[in-house]
Amino acid sequence: MSEEFVLKTVDLTKHYGGVHALEGANFELRKGEHVAIMGDNGAGKSTFVRQITGVEQRTRGTVIFDGKEVSFAGPIEARESGIETVFQTLALADHLDAVSYTHLTLPTTPYV
């Protein structure tokens, strides 16, 4: 693993035709850090996450994970590499608190 960054994006960009949903996003996550991605509706938060996890393919830019440049073919490949996404879908389990919601996709067997 890179000593400096667990996850880094450089110039991450996504265009949907003439709509520039994400433009030049630079991001760095260091080992031991926890972050929240926040912004107004339409600011590009979900688009940013979809580009990192391979849900959509980016227009341009670089994603570096665990010291290597990656371009995941889809979210399963991202998961197998160690990136998990909890999507903001309240209708799925609106009775759960935030912590319980994040555990919905985790294996039922405890980690060793």
CATH fourth-level superfamily of 7-84: P-loop containing nucleotide triphosphate hydrolases (3.40.50.300)
**Paired residues of 29 in beta bridges:** 7
- 8: which residues sit within 8 A by CB, 6+ positions away? 27, 28, 29, 63, 64, 65
Quickly list DSSP for 24-53: EEEEEE-TT--------TTSSHHHHHHHHH
Domain extent listing, the chain: 7-84
pLDDT tens sequence across 61-88: 999 999 999 999 999 999 899 888 776 6
Look up the pTM and report it. Answer: 0.77
Task: At 6, list the tokens.
Answer: 């667990």
Task: Say which residue, 75 or 91, is predicted with more confidence.
Answer: 75
Per-residue pLDDT tens over the stretch 18-53:
999 999 999 999 998 988 888 898 899 999 999 999
